Structure 1
Amino acid sequence: MGEGGAGMGFGERVRFHRERAGMTREVLAGQVGKSVSWIKAVETGRLQQDPRLPVLLQLAEALRIRDLADLTGDRSMPVRMFTGPGHPALDAVRTAINAMPLPPQGTVQPFAHLRARLDAAWRARHASPDHRTTLGAILPDLIRDAQLAATMQRDAPRRRAMGLLAEVYGLAQMYLAYQPASDLLWRVAERALLAAQESEDPLALACAVWFAGQAHRDAGDFDAARLVNEQGLAAIESEADTDRVDLLAMRGALYFELAFTSARLGETGTAWAHWEEAARVAERLPAGHYQPWTSFSRVIMGAHAVTVAVELHSGGESARQAERAFLAPIPSRPRRGRHLIEIARAHHLQREHEAVLATLRLAHDAAPETIKYNGYARRMTLELAETGPANLRPRARELANEITLLV
């Protein structure tokens, strides 16, 4: 039993974990699509019976609870329900991250060679349906070589290598996301920030901040996520009128992260205002530009609008944005898969069960390893497989088996 569980009823556990996460009832209600009065009824024991499994999963996901026994007191569900299984290459990536070259020894590869390898890794990630498997094969050697280059050089070459190392850690964070390795994810996020600061490169710092903001938000620390994003924007403020496309794209990406965080907090006006700021930046980008780190681009703004509407739990607006952005030609298979999952969430808000399952199937076709590790997709699939309409359950269970949800 986790902390705070002894002697508590279900509602008391919900309140304990909500307060520990620093959430108001309004925030939690928004995240699970319920009213504030419903949350109050749960916490005060006025609900006649405990919520069904799909709602329990929503509560556990919102409260970042990994074992349902910490919420219910009498049932347990493993972490894979929320984060997906550990990837086979996870141990090799962990070893590479932890094996800092101290004392440094070995041959430092030329910066141009490391840069070419990292660029190729980004291209491979976006082109691959199984992007974690692709990255799992690339990252261990790339991490070791980048760490060695940053450790063994001095002055300007060291600063340049530090900027590259920060980006490598960002790529590693994308591999680690939604896996049972939160300790490792935080390690690379913090190391990326330190390396980026030492590089004295505003682009590297903005990129590291973007990754750190995501880590804070996914951990439920919305204040920290907002703060680091604002700091990232301040760090590149002097470059606001630059012609550098990469810095301009980072500016837009950070504005969208503020929109995302505001939406999570239920701040409708602020969320859409930040989205509009990001959209104005996107219009200044070349038509075909697609930033590999953040996916920021003109084409991604429709997908971002779906996310804002879904996070605000605005069913009608989610449906409208999903219809507009459904065919967006996103040039990245994992990002396309995630976009389809967000569209499935929009259908879920409207209780359009057939459309939810069909869209999740499209997400699986686009990028199997995206849906396999995405908590929202796993929860929606489980809900359809267990309590969905009878005619959909066989297909939902087939998908659940494919994403290792019922095995």
Structure 2
Amino acid sequence: MSFDATPDPNVQQIAFGQRMQLLRTRRGMTRQVLAGLLGMSAEWVKAVENGRLKTPKLDMILAIAEALRVRDLSDLTGGRRQDAGLFVGPGHPRLPEVAAAVNQLPLTTAAQAPPVAHLRARLARAWAARHQAPNHREVIGGLLPELIRDAQLAVRQAESAADRRAAQAILSEVYSLSQFFVAYQPDASLLWRVAERGMIAAQESDDPHALGVAAWLSAQAHRDSGPGHFDAADAVTLEVLRYLDPLLPDATDEVLAVAGALQFEAGYTAARRGDTAVAWSYWDHADRMAQRLPTGYYHPVTSFGRAIMGAHAVTVAVELHAGGESVRQAARAEAEVIPSRPRRARHRIEQARAYLLDGQPDVALATLDQAHEAAPETIKWNGYAKRIILEEAESPVPERRRRAAELAVKVGLLAA
């Protein structure tokens, strides 16, 4: 190492806090900015860096790694190399088939595309299967390859401009279903390919519903890429909301629902930023949109409707790191009213995060058990759930450690 170089954080003797400080300064990030991304104070960051506070728990280490864009956790923690992508997990067995269908271009095939109406019916059945099956990834992973190929063919073989727009709307929604499968899989480039193709097809369709759904998923892809992409998430969300706004007085229920889902997405991103007032304001806007929908209405893609607003309130409170408020919202939001099994499991995971924030790890583990009962394939691929389980598997409390280990075996994090 040259005398004027920044010390390499991979040197074993450097403590966690020093590594954190070196990586932060290399990125040109102030303590205040890092603190804001973590939902902590600048004084807390300083105390960790100076060694006055011990190394944080696993969930905070991963949050720090995300904020500092650390790809190899050993850069931050020392020890053996560990790709941060571990927390995505190994790919689903059906991932190669789905990827092949996405990547294939049907330019020379002699196959005949099915009618758009037939594709629409198949797509509706696929969405229903996703919501009803506990092993929803396995089910839609089996349906997607042929759906993708047939939808691509329908666009290519459309005989009129109107037919082509209708086919593009179907293709966009097929890509939306694909994004649910590809999310949390170890192929980020495939996720972005699906998201971008879905948005392009939606724009070609000139269909407000297709555009809303594609924007909803695109915003999530941006936001989940880390704090550096929050502005991009907002840009997509707010632009499509502006596009939809003049259509809303006479809109169908599905367009109203996707507009409400986008309002919540804007609030979700604000909560990730730590902007409490903006986050809850967007939640209020989304709730007013939900009240315009019929009782019992449930959007097949976004899960938006009156029943989901309680779950959305839990998410906002959790992302704002408001332990007491998140538990209050968790107590009010009934998972049983959510018709979709994977969305019900996701809500249970958010409730578990709330209980952990409030210092109730045993309740958090019990809630994750309920998530596993609702949809095992949701918790298996959810990073938040896995972080809680792994952290509590190292608990000094024997009974809690045992329960976490049992859940880790169920989820597939540990061998039986």
TM-score, normalising length: structure 1: 0.92
- Given the alignment of the two structures, is residue 247 of structure 1 paired with residue 255 of structure 2, yes or no? yes
- 2:150 maps to which residue? 145
Counterpart mapping for 1:12-23 below 5 A: 13-14=19-20
Find 1:385's aligned residue among 371, 393, 413.
393
For structure 2, the residue ranges without an aligned partner over 5 or more in a row are none
- 1:367 maps to which residue? 375
Deviation at 1:29, TM superposition (A): 3.5
Q: In the aligned structure 1, how far is the partner of 2:407 from the partner of 2:19?
A: 32
8 Å CA contact 2:241–2:259 kept in 1: the answer is yes
User: Which deviates further from its counterpart, 128-137 or 99-108?
Assistant: 99-108
Counterpart mapping for 1:1-400 below 5 A: 7-8=8-9, 10-11=16-17, 13-14=19-20, 25=31, 28-29=34-35, 32=38, 34-43=40-49, 45-47=50-52, 49-61=54-66, 63=68, 65-79=70-84, 81-103=86-108, 105-153=110-158, 154-220=160-226, 221-387=229-395, 389-400=397-408
8 Å CA contact 2:39–2:274 kept in 1: the answer is no
Deviation at 1:72, TM superposition (A): 2.1
8 Å CA contact 2:48–2:54 kept in 1: the answer is no
Counterpart AA for 1:60: A
For the pair shown, the structure with the greater C-alpha radius of gyration is: 2
Question: Any idea what the Cα deviations from partners look like across 1:275-313, whole Å, max 9, x if unmatched?
Answer: 000000000000011001100000000000000000000
Counterpart AA for 2:260: G
Counterpart AA for 2:407: L
Question: Any idea what the Cα deviations from partners look like across 1:91-122, whole Å, max 9, x if unmatched?
Answer: 00000000111345421110111000000000
Counterpart AA for 2:77: T
Answer 1 or 2: higher relative contact order, Cα 8 Å, separation at least 6.
1
SS of residue matched to 1:383: helix
Identical pairs, percent: 54
Cα RMSD (Å): 2.3
Counterpart AA for 1:205: L
SS of residue matched to 1:74: coil
Find 1:406's aligned residue among 404, 411, 414.
414
SS of residue matched to 2:250: coil
Counterpart AA for 1:155: A
Deviation at 1:37, TM superposition (A): 1.4
Question: Aligned residues, how many?
Answer: 403
Deviation at 1:30, TM superposition (A): 5.4
Deviation at 1:404, TM superposition (A): 1.9
Q: In the aligned structure 2, how far is the partner of 1:215 from the partner of 1:15?
A: 28
8 Å CA contact 1:205–1:232 kept in 2: the answer is yes
Question: Any idea what the Cα deviations from partners look like across 1:192-250, whole Å, max 9, x if unmatched?
Answer: 11111111112111111111000000001111111100011012122021241111111
CA distance 1:133–1:307, shift in 2 (3 Å): same
User: Which deviates further from its counterpart, 301-310 or 33-42?
Assistant: 33-42
8 Å CA contact 1:84–1:374 kept in 2: the answer is no
CA distance 1:31–1:245, shift in 2 (3 Å): same
Question: Any idea what the Cα deviations from partners look like across 1:23-52, whole Å, max 9, x if unmatched?
Answer: 775564456453321123334x44465434
8 Å CA contact 2:175–2:195 kept in 1: the answer is yes
User: Which deviates further from its counterpart, 224-233 or 13-22?
Assistant: 13-22
CA distance 1:398–1:95, shift in 2 (3 Å): same
CA distance 1:378–1:145, shift in 2 (3 Å): same
Counterpart AA for 1:68: L
